[in-house]
């Protein structure tokens, strides 16, 4: 089985405070991989190290078989890695259309063009509008992102990560703070958008995790406790002790 993403004994610390400890994550091509773990387990830090926000203090990250340790977010994005944020991070003052268009410009490699009006790039506009339809935000096309409802704003957040057309998308708690209905809708949207792609998702909601994931990795105190298919994780005694049991209390 091909590994699209692999970390090899990854360590990270914040001024001496170990947050990641010997993490060996393996994500297979095409799978939906969930990372779970109690608060403070290092999930977001792991994301930040993989996506190039931080350099790991030790270890290496392999993406599509290439050593990408220490590459910046822009470089990883160009190699085909997308990422959404736990705290919504859109361009709030710009319209929904402009938010998504940013991703379309990126996927087309239009980065420094200063000789054409961006509104005049018909294929960019068309592709952006197609995406808006697919994510059901075409009615909100010209609204500034900041006035969207919470659920829709979160959808935009995830869709922006997808708009660059990544092969691997890393979603950091896409359903954080959503109501039951919003969550249901978001899960459906994520499923639809990530069709045929590899996805790594951090998620707290166990219903979401068990309904969406092919494989689950449990992170605990900065290190991997277990990794495997959902049924296996559900039965794993160590996981139950460390995490699931705690949730049921």
Partner 1 sequence: MTKRMAKWVSWGFLCLVLLVFPRVFGIYYSNVFVAFAIFAVYSLTLNMLLGYTGLLSFGHAMFFGTGAYTTAIALDRISGMPLLPVVLAGFVASVVLALILCPIVVRVGGTAFAMLHLAFGQLMYVLALKLRFLTGGEDGVGGFPIPAFSIPGIISVDMTNPLNFFYFAIAVLGLSTWILWFFTKTPIGSIMIGIRDNPQRVEYMGFRVTHTKAIIYCLAAGFAGITGSIYALFQNLISAEDGYNIMVSFGPIMATIVGGVGSFSGPIFGSAIFSIIEELTSRYTERVELVMGLILIGVILYAPMGFMGVMGLLKQRWLAARKVKLEGAK
Binding site for partner 1 (CB under 8 A): 51, 72-74, 77-78, 82-83, 85, 89-94, 98, 101-103, 105-107, 110-119, 121, 124, 160-161, 163-164
Could you identify the residue written with the tokens 């090899």?
8
Cβ proximity to partner 1: between 103 and 222 the closer is: 103
Helices (H), the chain: 43-50, 73-79, 96-107, 122-134, 150-163, 180-193, 206-212, 230-235, 237-239, 245-248
Cβ proximity to partner 1: between 44 and 106 the closer is: 106
Q: In whole angstroms, how close is the CB of 225 to partner 1 at the nearest point?
A: 28
Cβ proximity to partner 1: between 92 and 214 the closer is: 92
Q: In whole angstroms, how close is the CB of 29 to partner 1 at the nearest point?
A: 21
The C-alpha R_g of the chain, in whole angstroms, comes to 18
Cβ proximity to partner 1: between 85 and 185 the closer is: 85
Q: In whole angstroms, how close is the CB of 220 to partner 1 at the nearest point?
A: 27
Q: In whole angstroms, how close is the CB of 135 to partner 1 at the nearest point?
A: 16
Q: In whole angstroms, how close is the CB of 37 to partner 1 at the nearest point?
A: 23
Q: In whole angstroms, how close is the CB of 60 to partner 1 at the nearest point?
A: 21
Report d(CA 128, CA 22) in Å as an integer: 41
Cβ proximity to partner 1: between 57 and 125 the closer is: 125
Q: In whole angstroms, how close is the CB of 222 to partner 1 at the nearest point?
A: 24
Token pair of 183 as six digits: 């969550």
* DSSP conformation letters of 24-75: --EEETT-EEEEE--TTSSHHHHHHHHTTSS--SEEEEEETTEE-TT--HHH
Q: Which of 110, 88, 95, 54 is nearest to 161 (CA)?
A: 88
Quote the Cα angle for 142-145-151, to 5°.
115
Q: What are phi and psi of 72, to 5 degrees?
A: -80, 165
Cβ proximity to partner 1: between 78 and 234 the closer is: 78
The answer to whether 228 and 215 are in contact (CB under 8 A) is yes
Cβ proximity to partner 1: between 194 and 227 the closer is: 194
């Amino acid at each position: 089985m091909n590994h699209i993403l692999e970390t090899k004994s990854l360590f990270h610390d914040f001024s001496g405070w170990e947050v990641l400890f010997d993490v060996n994550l393996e994500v297979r091509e095409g799978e939906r991989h969930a990372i779970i773990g109690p608060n403070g387990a290092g999930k977001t830090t792991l994301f930040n190290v993989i996506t190039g926000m931080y350099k790991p203090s030790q270890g290496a990250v392999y993406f599509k078989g290439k050593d990408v340790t220490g590459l910046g977010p822009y470089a990883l994005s160009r190699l085909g890695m997308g990422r959404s944020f736990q705290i919504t991070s859109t361009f709030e003052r710009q319209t929904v259309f402009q938010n998504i268009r940013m991703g379309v410009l990126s996927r087309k490699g239009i980065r420094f063009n200063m000789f054409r009006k961006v509104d005049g790039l018909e294929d960019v506009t068309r592709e952006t509008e197609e995406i808006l339809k697919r994510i059901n935000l075409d009615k909100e096309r010209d609204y500034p992102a900041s006035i969207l409802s919470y659920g829709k704003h979160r959808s935009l957040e995830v869709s922006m990560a997808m708009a660059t057309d990544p092969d691997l998308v890393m979603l950091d708690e896409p359903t954080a703070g959503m109501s039951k209905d919003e969550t249901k809708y978001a899960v459906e949207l994520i499923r639809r958008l990530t069709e045929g792609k590899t996805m790594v998702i951090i998620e707290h909601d166990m219903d979401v995790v068990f309904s969406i994931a092919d494989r689950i990795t449990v992170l605990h105190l900065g290190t991997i406790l277990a990794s495997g298919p959902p049924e296996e994780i559900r039965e794993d005694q160590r996981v139950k002790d460390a995490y699931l049991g705690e949730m049921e209390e």
